A and B are shown apart, each in its own frame.
Chain A
Amino acid sequence: MRIARALFVSSFVASLALAASCVGTTGSGLVTFRATASGPSDFDAKQTFASGLGYAVTLTRAKLHVGAVYLNRSVPTSGAQATSCTLPGIYVAEVLDGLDVDVLDPTPQAFPVNGDGTADHASAGEVWLTGGDVTADDDATVILDLAGTASKGGATFPFEGKITIGKNRAVAPADPSQPGSNPMCKQRIVTPIPIDVVPKSGGELRLEIDPRAWFDNVDFARLDKASDTPLLYRFNDAAIEQPDTNLFRALRSASAETYRFRWLP
């Protein structure tokens, strides 16, 4: 009987201990955070900068449509990224609603919705330049709307451009045995953008977009002239001519010179 009573007591104590210990976590956490985008803090409208080809460029309008932002656990390997735009299981955070970012404005512009994610380390970011389904064959959304003037050697090239990413950017597969090697989504996703952050609830993810590097290899002299009076050159929104091709290539470059993520607690 004494043993029985002892066992009863021990079970009771064990139950209390276990009830108290029924706490803990599965690790990580779900987080919600504010998301903003801006132009670079050291640059604003009408500031002239020099391009890689020696042009002095002044932007009067530069708006980039960001369809969505994602953060990844790891930097995708070349092999994995070669085949797929989205890889299940690697995403840490997302900001889903689009925003037209005035990249000439250094003040933060809030995305329409908060970002969601998990409290896991992110080491790469993605900027989706799309107005709809990232895998759609075509998309008429103006992704980049820009205007400005480029000067070189006494010549001046007032320019404007509206860049879309649709069929005009389709890339035929080089290898006929791999027809799926260049899906449209790959033309719309800028990745991997370096980042080193663990998202936390209440923080802010800031995407800083610097437009200067877009024009590094653009030869403005080869732009198509749109009109003489007033003089105006125009990007033709097709991957044919050097200026348009190089602008689009720079737009999609995940270089830290162009796209920078910052985490603000």
Chain B
Amino acid sequence: MVRRGLRSVALGIALLVGTSHVAAQPDAEPVVVPPAVRTHVDAVYPTSALSGGQHADVTLLVTVDAHGRVTKVEVAQSGGPVLDEAAIVAVRQWTFAPATKGGNPIAARVRIPFHFAPPAPPAPDVAPAPGHAPQGTTVPPPGATQGVSAPSPISIDSHPPGPTIQQPEEVRIHGHAPPPSRGIGDFNMRIGALGAVPRANASEMLKLAPSILLTNDGGDGHAEQIFLRGFDAREGQDIELTVGGVPINEAGNLHGNGYADTHFIIPEVVTSLRVIEGPFDPHQGNFAVAGSADYELGLTKRGLTAKYTRGSFNTERILLTWGPKEESLHTFGAVELHRTDGYGQNRDSSRGSAIGQYEAQFGKRGSYRITTTAYSSTFHSAGVLRNDDYESGRFKFFDAYNPSAPLGGQTSRYSIAGDIETKAGDTLLKQQLFIISRGMRLTENFTGYLLDVQTPIQPLHGQRGDRLDLAVNETTIGARGSARWKTEAFGLPQELELGYFARGDAVTGTQYRIEEATQHPYRLNTDIEAKVGDLGLFADTSLRPLRWITVRGGARADLFSYDVLDKCAAQSVAHPSKTNPPGDTSCLSQQDFGKYREPVQRSTTASAAFMPRATVLFGPFKKITMSMSYGQGVRSIDPIYVSQDTKTPFARVDSYEAGVAYFGGTRDVELSVRSMVFQTKVERDLIFSETAGRNVLGGGTTRTGWIGAMRATGTFFDQSASLTTVRSTFDDTHLLVPYVPDLVMRSDTALFHDMPFKLAGQRVRGVLGAGITYVGHRALPYGQRSDTIFTVDSSASLGWDVFELGVAATNLLGRRYRLGEYNYASDFHTESQATLVPSRHFSAGAPRAFFVSLSATLGGP
């Protein structure tokens, strides 16, 4: 190809504005504003067409989603396969400010004509102002400056610039429709340029939503502990996590019911993230107590990309992605291999992940998608360190207690999912099936040598150590589906959706106590088999009685069923047989005075939960929308708490939210600002127990707080920022709930622009990224407060031709901070006598680290 071939000339933009996919807010004024071109790339005159010297016109029908992304390109008028291809390659790199209808972003299809003319050197090194380039303008010869490179909001042509609105008609979107907003606390976030902010894994993308703090005491392969809106959601127990609608939470996981490990998700293939900070959507299911988060997978960087990263602590990462440019952005393959020695002691890890996804048209009005994932990880963990051991100099900040026998684990996840989305008349039909296989082994020790209590029937022993060796295997099969009917009443669109969710989990879990000196298991704490079922039905409406008011919501009902076989149910006997004492056996087959019993116990039960949810949206009034939301959520009971025929005691949550938001901006800047207050009451909260190594059921709690958030996206920047304050208290004592942060600030910044120089005649694109986190003093047990957390992560990259060279620094300021802090009793045998009273523990935050990456993209646009 001639890299400096003909500039493309967009002759105009004709809009076909959709009415079926209102993305976020209700529209009071049905004024349609077409998409505006934010950045555009000129088409290159193909070398193979030079000999013909032909002039040709190509017209493309381009679908621009509500985020301004090009999701589909069709050829409306062909100029021949070669020129068609050149135009498609170019337009896929365009970005838009999305079309809006009544101020709300909507998906739309635009008609973009290209005119190709052969190069005729010499050409002037000019950048014509938009609308003033003569049709068929030639371009400079090789080595000269590119004729047109500045982003143009419209086209460059002698024709009248700017979009013209044609007769509105329904847009045909081949892909998934964006979900309707559930209020101001519904954050449907495009990753976009903010992908430049360094993030160790996909979990850290959650920080784009307000109020989220992530910690991790278990190692690289251990799921992050998520704090959200004053909740300690642990590793997913209180937040429903999905990827493309496929559940990530593991029902019945022994380490925590709802444990959700997102590390299988490769960050580069996440295109958007929707976080609802509360149970306000009838689609939200089990574990949506504090809210939910759904990752949308896709690959915006089309072609074959190979990326190699190397950095501090012998960290290496290889990433391969492939997205056929003629296919949907949601069709891709990606493979990641990562290893690191980790900072300090016992923090090494290795992982591999592969994701493949194929999306294509299904019939005339639908699409289907198949997604497969495979992931495996081995990792070690330093665990926690007592502060007095660090202060006394017995241990260094990044040390671990037993370096020769590290904590850590191994995890794996394999899944396949398929879904279909199509329209039948006025009804949007969705159907999804998924199968997940998940394995996890985890060794942890929060308390050292504290819990090995001598019992009378055991031979004499000292404290052998509290190390837990936990193993979980889980197979999940499930489906979800819905039918959303759209009609019109009172001259306004009305919607009704009925749907279901069905999921079955077969779980096995064991948990042994391990002797620290020998690493031999000495006691079996838990050996459980469980079949956990969840059948949910929901009705969701979107009613618009007036132009300026929309009522969304409905109700959801879930039936949770349990069939639990506890294979180590009997662990003590008050009066053992004198002639046949049970000794040190963990699972006893003896009752009082030697009476025989099997150590197993089967329990079956079921219970239903009914959860109303509703959001009322007002506006928009001059781009300002207000909302009020109420919803009930539920967290199902952990199988280990199930007893025969007893109705499972759900933890119910009542959540309220009211807020106001501005969605608007200028032609070049898309701006959203949100402010909201919320209150959430939880019937039975989960409180961390260091002795169990997990959260256990506690009393009722209430959270009241405020969130402010903004995002501004322009032609050379993308800025997101949020501030959250929240007060979390126990209902009975009104004391603070420990560990949850009451002040979280986060800023994500990306700057991107062509550099003021060229290399070998080609543009060099520079990108800067920065993520700043501040977390206030968290309440700790015993009236204590933690240290604050303040970190800055940054990155810089240069893109030239097919190459991109990047550097990144995490914890750029080199602050020594404590990611997790806890007050509880432990005894790690570091004092002359047993330490039995509560003391401060911490897990060290990562020190400053640098990474360099080089990538090349072949066959891209």
Contacts and interface: CB of A to CB of B under 8 A. Distances in A.
B834 interface: yes
A93 interface: yes
Nearest to A4: B624
Interface stretch (A8-16, A49-57, A223-231, A236-244): A8-16
B569 to A, nearest CB: 21
A185 B457 CA distance: 16
Contacts of B167: none
Given A18-B705, A180-B454, A4 B660 contact: yes
Q: Which of A3, A15, A26, A86 gathers most chain B CB within 10 Å? A: A26
A94 B328 CA distance: 65
Nearest to B455: A83
A135 B462 contact: yes
B651 interface: no
B568 interface: no
Interface in A123-138: 128, 130, 132-136
A110 to B, nearest CB: 16
B454 A88 contact: no
A102 B729 CA distance: 49
A interface, size bucket: 35 or more
A11 B676 contact: yes
Interface string A1-28: 1011001101110110011011011111
A98 B832 contact: yes
B232 to A, nearest CB: 13
Interface stretch (B640-648, B806-814, B835-843): B835-843
Given A3-B618, A133-B462, A11 B453 contact: no
Nearest to B836: A91
B783 A94 contact: no
A170 to B, nearest CB: 9
B726 interface: yes
A107 to B, nearest CB: 24
A83 B454 contact: yes
B451 interface: yes
A226 B456 CA distance: 40
B622 A1 contact: yes
B783 A67 contact: no
Contact of B836 (A21, A28, A70): A70
B780 interface: yes
Contacts of A179: 456-460, 581, 583
B147 to A, nearest CB: 46
B219 interface: no
B735 A30 contact: no
Contacts of B708: 11, 15
Main secondary structure of the interface of B (DSSP, over half): loop
A68 interface: yes
Given A22-B743, A134-B833, A29 B581 contact: no
A85 B38 CA distance: 72
B736 A26 contact: yes
B454 A85 contact: yes
Contacts of A98: 832-833
B529 to A, nearest CB: 29
A27 to B, nearest CB: 4
Given A30-B783, A133-B462, A177-B457, A22 B581 contact: no
B626 A18 contact: no
Nearest to B624: A4
Contacts of B691: 88-89
A177 B578 contact: yes
Interface string B795-835: 00000000000000000000000000001010000011111
Q: Which of B454, B457, B726 gathers most chain A CB within 10 Å? A: B454
B242 interface: no
A26 B781 contact: yes
Interface in B728-785: 729, 733, 735-738, 742-743, 776, 779-784
Given A118-B782, A180-B456, A86 B836 contact: yes
Q: Which of B462, B583, B780 gathers most chain A CB within 10 Å? A: B462
Given A29-B782, A96-B832, A97-B832, A178 B729 contact: no
Contact of A11 (B576, B677, B742): B677
B802 to A, nearest CB: 48
B375 to A, nearest CB: 36
Contact of B727 (A22, A30, A117, A130): A22
Nearest to B590: A177
B783 A25 contact: yes
B839 A14 contact: no
18 contacts: A4-B660, A7-B626, A7-B658, A7-B659, A11-B676, A15-B725, A18-B705, A22-B725, A22-B743, A24-B735, A25-B735, A26-B738, A30-B839, A135-B461, A177-B457, A178-B581, A180-B461, A185-B454
Interface of A: 1, 3-4, 7-8, 10-12, 14-15, 18-19, 21-22, 24-30, 67-68, 70, 82-89, 91-94, 96-98, 116-119, 128, 130, 132-136, 175-181, 183-185
Interface of B: 447, 450-451, 453-463, 576-579, 581, 583, 618-619, 621-622, 624, 626, 658-660, 675-677, 691, 704-706, 708, 723, 725-727, 729, 733, 735-738, 742-743, 776, 779-784, 823, 825, 831-840
Given A93-B837, A175-B456, A177-B577, 15 more contacts: A1-B624, A7-B660, A22-B726, A24-B727, A25-B735, A25-B779, A29-B784, A70-B836, A86-B450, A88-B836, A132-B832, A135-B454, A135-B462, A178-B581, A180-B456
What 8 A-B pairs come out closest when comparing CB atoms? A177-B581, A178-B456, A11-B675, A29-B783, A68-B833, A135-B462, A91-B836, A7-B660
